Structure 1
Amino acid sequence: MKGLLKRTLGTLTAVCALATVADADGVDQLPASEQSIYAIVDPQIPLGASVYKDFKPKKGPPWKIGYASSYAGNTWRAAALDAIMNDLLPRSKEAGLVSDVVVTQSDLKDAVQIQQMRQMVDDGVDAIIICCSNVTALNQTIEYAYKAGVPVFSFSGYVTSPYAINGAANHTQGGAEMASWLAESIGKKGNVLLVSGIPGFASSDSFDKGAKDALAKYPDITIVGEVAGKWTDQVAQVEVQKFLATNPAQVDGILTQGAQENGVLNAMLQSGRPMVPITLGGEASAGCYWRKNPEWVDAGFHIWPPRREMQQMWEIMLRTLQGQGPKVQTFLRPVLPYTIDDVRAALPEDCDLNSTDFVEPSADGWFPAAVADQYFERPADPWKPAAN
């Protein structure tokens, strides 16, 4: 693992044409340990100070929350919604912090999501969570919500509106680390197939940029094809199968985003071709294959842990509504490598190769309270029961 981290950190320092922390107005308020997470980012990510530093909600708790999801068709989105309905909402109700959550799905249609968000504002929600959206399409609606006193929180991706708060892993870093790992795993030469998520969406494009910039440092590696898996195993499997069936060129490794690696794995298994290294982003199904074939790869990467990312954004939302004063517009988390031992600890020996679950960091491993406190002007325990 030390070798892996050394390789990937070396790649990150080499990636060029990306924004740095020197461009920030808000991030420079964070301690050096956190600023380092922002060293290389997508240049469109807002790094300034949050407009919600002195925010006070329209009323005290319990608050009504809107979750304007853009898509419901994959296991990752299902896990994120499950985190709300079966963990975060019950805990928040018990603490007197949240009364209800209104959930909508727009099926990747910006106009529908805009209408749903505006309706939430008009119906009196106190905050809105969105996910993985187009970086600019919702900006006018986010401003509409802001003017009505309703903050918008974008998780697992970002929007460019100054009136939103973003929370995600550093997907550019993640793309670079995964690409560097794959390049080293295939001996620094060969053909790589890139399986994107949903082109045009923030986290997908950020990942691909970091990955391509990293692979460009390996002159003997060629990206022989690009397909879009839409963060859905079934879609990724079909797209990779079509590519493999119509392109006889050798494929030495596959670089895929999360929530679709099992589809990529199944496409390779059914193709009749020799198995090659595939990047892993936490799906338990692909993790199970790794557990049963421990020599296949030597690392996975926590970039999109759905329950942990939702918990992070939920706690940022609670803290903001409580008047704790977020310092920054965008909360980024570092990419966390994980090992076969982590998979063995999370999955039984008779694990399910078709599982729809995820291997995730521990409950306090993604956004620990001690770290979260450093992102707020007036930090406090967000789960403290509301005063009667």
Structure 2
Amino acid sequence: MMRKLTIIAALGAAALLTGPVFAAGLDELPADQQAVYKMVDPQTPIGPSPFRDFVPKKKAPWKIGYASTYAGNTWRKNVLEEFTNVLLPAYKKAGLVSDLVVTQSDLKDATQIQQMRQMVDDGVDAIIICCSNVTAMNQTIEYAHSKGVPVFSFSGYVTSPYAMTASENQTQGGYTSAKWLAEKIGGKGNVLLVSGIPGFASSDSFDIGAKQALGEYPGITLTGNVNGNWTDQVAQTEVQKFLATNPGQIDGMVVQSASENGVVNAVLQSGRPMMPIVLGGEASAACYWRKNADFIDKSFHFWPPRADARLVWDVMMRTLEGQGPKMQSILRPVIPYTIDDVKAQLPENCDPNSTDWVEPLNNAWWTPEAAAAHFDRPEDPLTWKQK
């Protein structure tokens, strides 16, 4: 059954914050950085950082914990590789990090809670978490805080007042990419939304933005919403099932990475004409675009994995070094990219089954200028020296 979008009524308390945000710390940022916070999921903790005057419980080198929720997609693979093969060796060499402890909870909140508490008891100095339930970890985060262990959430926020968030602005990402799609199909037609995992901040926040954008076009109908679980195999199965049981025309799809390659394959296997699809950075789907240049004219970095990994690591290290983060949530804006950017990163004979990603170039995701603006005492965290 197709339903017309009535977005503001449907969202209720989750309606977007679209005006200027007034919060301690935010008003100290330059105007271009403040602009990133003008459209946010209202549950995102926008306020002063609890670690502005943080002093670590001991000197470097520090032991870091990464309590991941699962490892089953290309995004997670690239994040873990960046942590273990790039960042850890560099910071070990600099004498700033001694070890990285990694756990996987297989999407079980109770398991992640146990793993985080064990990390604290085993003496980690900071914990990174990703894409977790927005409230389930809060008591454990408070426990870590009581032991002098700061927790840093990336690619999604948590609502604890004792955590830092270093993340893309997923609401802006959903809004921007869905608005592009709406314009691309002429402001009318049927759209399928392929979400991530409902209940997780990055998925829900993205969908809030996407649905608001689509709701601004009376000629657009949200004809379906399936969950791709940020995994190509899952998304391909769910989209195939939807297409098989809904014979009506689909004019475009808004897709949360990392599942766009599964969505592209589902459409190809359905025998339907290819329609515009929002891509988020998977090199496999970008390879299809590389070989079919007229497929779309733009796509978006809304959570590039390696850049996201570098962002949260940088924020964590600066905080441990006492550089004084101003904001509890440090957000990054969506970055569009074009076929020329894809051609610059992928060869003509690119691999349609690649597990790599097309990433923003030249530190565009987290520039030195943006980093300096968000901290009271900014220094290059890799070359920082203990006093």
Residue 83 (1) aligns with residue 82 (2) = yes
Contact 2:76/2:305 (<8 A) preserved: yes
Q: CA deviation at 1:215?
A: 0.5
The equivalent of 2:3 in structure 1 is: none
CA RMSD of aligned residues (A): 1.3
Q: CA deviation at 1:17?
A: 4.1
The equivalent of 1:280 in structure 2 is: 279
Residue 133 (1) aligns with residue 129 (2) = no
Contact 1:21/1:28 (<8 A) preserved: no
Q: CA deviation at 1:71?
A: 1.0
The equivalent of 2:4 in structure 1 is: none
Contact 1:192/1:254 (<8 A) preserved: yes
Structure 2 unaligned segments of length 5 or more: list them.
Answer: 1-13
Q: Deviations over 1:24-61 (max 9, x none)?
A: 23322211110001011000000110110110101111
The one-letter amino acid of 2:184's match is S
The equivalent of 1:185 in structure 2 is: 184
Contact 1:72/1:105 (<8 A) preserved: yes
The equivalent of 1:100 in structure 2 is: 99
Q: CA deviation at 1:285?
A: 0.6
Distance in 2 (CA, whole Å) between partners of 1:48 and 1:347 is 40
| 1:343-354 correspondence runs (5 A) | 343-354=342-353
Distance in 2 (CA, whole Å) between partners of 1:214 and 1:226 is 15
The one-letter amino acid of 1:137's match is A
The equivalent of 1:366 in structure 2 is: 365
The equivalent of 1:11 in structure 2 is: none
Structure 1 stretch displaced more, 364-373 or 337-346: 364-373
Structure 1 stretch displaced more, 22-31 or 226-235: 22-31
The equivalent of 1:8 in structure 2 is: none
**Helix, strand or coil: the match of 1:200?**
coil
Distance in 1 (CA, whole Å) between partners of 2:19 and 2:117 is 34
Cα distance, 1:67–1:17 mapped onto 2, change above 3 Å: closer
Q: CA deviation at 1:22?
A: 2.7
Q: CA deviation at 1:131?
A: 0.2
Distance in 2 (CA, whole Å) between partners of 1:63 and 1:324 is 16
The equivalent of 1:9 in structure 2 is: none
The equivalent of 2:312 in structure 1 is: 313
The equivalent of 2:268 in structure 1 is: 269
Distance in 2 (CA, whole Å) between partners of 1:250 and 1:194 is 14
Residue 42 (1) aligns with residue 17 (2) = no
Q: TM-score, normalised by structure 1?
A: 0.94
Cα distance, 1:19–1:161 mapped onto 2, change above 3 Å: farther
Q: Deviations over 1:306-348 (max 9, x none)?
A: 0001101101000000000100000001110001000000000
Distance in 1 (CA, whole Å) between partners of 2:205 and 2:386 is 42
Distance in 1 (CA, whole Å) between partners of 2:59 and 2:213 is 47
The equivalent of 1:148 in structure 2 is: 147
Deviating runs (4+, > 3 A) in structure 1? Answer: 385-388
Q: Deviations over 1:239-286 (max 9, x none)?
A: 000000111111110110111000000000000111000001000011
Distance in 2 (CA, whole Å) between partners of 1:385 and 1:23 is 32
Contact 2:64/2:127 (<8 A) preserved: yes
Residue 334 (1) aligns with residue 336 (2) = no
**Helix, strand or coil: the match of 1:22?**
coil
Contact 1:127/1:151 (<8 A) preserved: yes
| 1:1-388 correspondence runs (5 A) | 17-18=16-17, 20-384=19-383, 386=385
Give the fraction of aligned pairs with identical amino acids, expressed as a percent: 67
Distance in 2 (CA, whole Å) between partners of 1:108 and 1:23 is 35
**Helix, strand or coil: the match of 2:167?**
strand
Q: CA deviation at 1:128?
A: 0.1
Q: Deviations over 1:194-242 (max 9, x none)?
A: 0000010001000000010111110010011110000000000000000
Distance in 2 (CA, whole Å) between partners of 1:184 and 1:198 is 26
Q: Deviations over 1:292-316 (max 9, x none)?
A: 0000100010111000011011010
Cα distance, 1:131–1:286 mapped onto 2, change above 3 Å: same
Distance in 1 (CA, whole Å) between partners of 2:115 and 2:377 is 32
The one-letter amino acid of 1:316's match is V
Contact 1:308/1:363 (<8 A) preserved: no
Contact 1:19/1:43 (<8 A) preserved: no
**Helix, strand or coil: the match of 1:87?**
helix
The one-letter amino acid of 2:167's match is A
The equivalent of 2:7 in structure 1 is: none
